[in-house]
Amino acid sequence: MTAGATYFASRALLPNGWARDVRLAVSPAGDLVECRPGAAAQGAERLRGAVLPGMPNLHSHAFQRAMAGLTERAGPGDDSFWTWRELMYRFVVRLEPEDLEAVAAQLYVEMLKAGYTSVAEFHYVHHDRDGSPYGDPATMSERIVAAAAGAGIGLTLLPVLYQANGFGGVPPAAGQRRYVMPTDAFLALFEELRRRFAGRPEIAVGVAPHSLRAVGEGSLAAVAEASRVVAAPIHIHVAEQVREVEECLAWSNRRPVEWLLDHQAVDRRWCLVHATHLSPEETARLAGSGALAGLCPTTEANLGDGIFPLPAYLAAGGAWGIGSDSHVSVSPIEELRWLEYGQRLTTGRRGVAAPRLGSTGERLWRAALAGGATALGRPVGALEPGHRADLVVLDEEVPALAGRSDDRLLDALVFAGNANPVRDVMVGGKWVVRDGRHSREETVFARYRAALERLMAED
Ligand SMILES: [Zn+2]
């Protein structure tokens, strides 16, 4: 019996901090109905280590997992974000629906084993290889849903609107034909996905206007309004690259985040992915808006994007979460470590994420839980009644965690060692990882390997 069960944790991270002897009761639907510290273990299944809420991953392009490590060779000229994007376009040309599902399923299994229990999928490959819509326009979205359901990870599906190849409506390039969609077709897809997956507690649907480069003012307004009336999450890439800021200034005389805040009622439903290049005014305004900064430190490092102004953003009360984006790393530990280390390297200070007294690791973990849950628009990220029973049990026998209690445990988790201490993982009341193994990992990996062979074959 995995649903409708009661568990006992000798210690667990509750909303108010670490608690001892915690009874966690889960409804048959997979929701937490009781999280009581100081309780007896009688009649409950004992969890085999310290328990954390599972981490939401707020930004993923699943198919890019199949490209991780392939873009590290120097090309002609400067090897930059823009040459990486060219390779990504060549790769995506071949992707069939079964390939997308195979790659996404492999990725989601890896996420679960690393402690992510839900993901926001920023999904933009909608059409067939020649750019024509599939008979069912939701064909590729269905593959993402199937991959998530098969792996057992919670999903916020964010169909992406992509219409232009630069500010001011530059026509899309041939390599972008699988993404491009008229606004009315996009809004119909959004409604259809909401209808199809209503009543599935592991799935939410939001929208993702790709970026200010790719979506014009009128389309952005239409999509924002469609999401507002149903209170759905809205995610957008913004200010990732210096060149993007320069092009936005040339087009509008505004910086990208400044333009967005001037033209849209940005609030906590919004997740601004990257937002790396901010002026001090933008930093303060973004923090004050309640929107999330969607930080993807390992991808941002891999692509050479730059460093997010975290100290000023935190000082202004800004909220943030983490995403693994291009999946050069699939580990919440590594995202949080890189976030803090990037700040230390540029500021010459330690504990940047925890400017006041206390544990840096715990502050990082808790902020990413809260921000990620908001960005995903699902009741996750907390061991609290009414939230999904998404939890991670840590193996306290790994050397890096031995003898570390409470917030020192999270400092050790984030900053000490390379072992993955995730032992067991539950999503929506169901065990998906036990003793570090996912129940379907062999099947999923065999399909992934076959898909890679197709994708990597010489022409
Ligand atoms: Zn992205």
Determine the pLDDT at residue 457.
78
Which residues are placed with Cβ below 5 angstroms of ligand 1, an ion? 325
User: Which of the four pLDDT bands, split at 50, 70 and 90, describes residue 429?
Assistant: very high
For 162-190, letters b (16+ CB in 10 Å) and e give bbbeebebeebeeebbbbbbebeebbebb
Partners of residue 295 on adjacent β-strands: 322
**List 99, 305, 325, 411, catalytic entry:** 325
In the chain, count H helices and then E strands.
Answer: 14, 18
Cα 121-124-128 angle, rounded to 5 deg: 130
Q: What value does the mean pLDDT of the chain take?
A: 94
| β pairing state of 6-14 and 17-26 | antiparallel
337-344 average pLDDT score: 95
H or E stretch covering 404: none
The neighbour count for residue 127, using CB atoms within 10 Å, is 17
Give the separation between CA 278 and CA 309, rounded to whole angstroms: 7
Give the separation between CA 132 and CA 30, rounded to whole angstroms: 39
Determine the pLDDT at residue 71.
73
Using an 8 Å Cβ cutoff, are 298 and 330 in contact? no
Give the separation between CA 101 and CA 206, rounded to whole angstroms: 20
325 is catalytic: yes
Tokens of 336: 């949080």
Determine the pLDDT at residue 394.
97
Give the separation between CA 10 and CA 48, rounded to whole angstroms: 9
List Cα–Cα distances, 74 to 64, 81, 243, in angstroms. 19, 12, 20
336-351 average pLDDT score: 93
Determine the pLDDT at residue 303.
86
CA of 270 to the centre of ligand 1 (A): 15
CA 147 to chain centre: 16
CA of 35 to the centre of ligand 1 (A): 35
Coil, helix or strand for 348? coil
CA of 299 to the centre of ligand 1 (A): 9
Q: 98-136 pLDDT, tens per residue? A: 999 999 999 999 999 999 999 999 999 999 999 999 999
List Cα–Cα distances, 81 to 71, 346, 437, in angstroms. 10, 21, 35
Determine the pLDDT at residue 82.
63
Using an 8 Å Cβ cutoff, are 16 and 8 in contact? no
CA of 136 to the centre of ligand 1 (A): 25
DSSP letter for each residue of 109-172: HHHHHHTEEEEEEEE---S-TTSPPPSSTTHHHHHHHHHHHHHT-EEEEEEEEB--SSTTTPPP
Q: Is the pLDDT of residue 29 over 90?
A: yes
Q: 233-284 pLDDT, tens per residue? A: 999 999 999 999 999 999 999 999 999 999 999 999 999 999 999 999 999 9
DSSP letter for each residue of 279-300: -HHHHHHHHHHTPEEEE-HHHH
Q: Return the half-sphere exposure (C-beta side, CA atoms, 13 A cut-off) of residue 351.
A: 9
CA of 41 to the centre of ligand 1 (A): 44
387 is catalytic: no
CA of 365 to the centre of ligand 1 (A): 22
Using an 8 Å Cβ cutoff, are 294 and 257 in contact? no
Q: Is the pLDDT of residue 206 over 90?
A: yes
Determine the pLDDT at residue 392.
98
CA of 46 to the centre of ligand 1 (A): 39
Length of the chain: 459
Give the separation between CA 267 and CA 430, rounded to whole angstroms: 33
Using an 8 Å Cβ cutoff, are 358 and 407 in contact? yes
Nearest to 213 by CA among 277, 164, 263: 164
Task: Report the Cα–Cα distance between both ends of the chain, in Å, rounded.
Answer: 50
CA of 77 to the centre of ligand 1 (A): 24
Give CA torsion, residues 410, 415, 417, 421, to 10 deg. Answer: 30
- pTM confidence score: 0.96
Determine the pLDDT at residue 77.
66
Determine the pLDDT at residue 127.
97
Partners of residue 143 on adjacent β-strands: none
Q: 74-103 pLDDT, tens per residue? A: 666 665 666 667 767 777 888 999 999 999
Q: 277-325 pLDDT, tens per residue? A: 999 999 999 999 999 999 999 999 998 899 999 999 999 999 999 999 9
Q: What is the DSSP letter of 47?
A: P
CA of 210 to the centre of ligand 1 (A): 8
CA of 175 to the centre of ligand 1 (A): 17
CA of 415 to the centre of ligand 1 (A): 26
Q: Is the pLDDT of residue 54 over 80?
A: yes
User: Which of the four pLDDT bands, split at 50, 70 and 90, describes residue 3?
Assistant: very low
CA of 394 to the centre of ligand 1 (A): 29
User: Which of the four pLDDT bands, split at 50, 70 and 90, describes residue 1?
Assistant: very low
Question: 229-243, 336-350, 445-459 — which is least confidently predicted?
Answer: 445-459
User: Which of the four pLDDT bands, split at 50, 70 and 90, describes residue 231?
Assistant: very high
CA of 121 to the centre of ligand 1 (A): 9
Determine the pLDDT at residue 455.
85
Give the separation between CA 359 and CA 409, rounded to whole angstroms: 10
Nearest to 105 by CA among 60, 154, 147, 57: 147
Determine the pLDDT at residue 405.
84
Determine the pLDDT at residue 84.
67
Coil, helix or strand for 445? helix
33-51 average pLDDT score: 97
**List 274, 277, 327, 438, catalytic entry:** 274
Using an 8 Å Cβ cutoff, are 48 and 398 in contact? no
Burial class (CB in 10 A: 0-12, 13-18, 19+), 301: middle
| β pairing state of 292-295 and 234-238 | unpaired
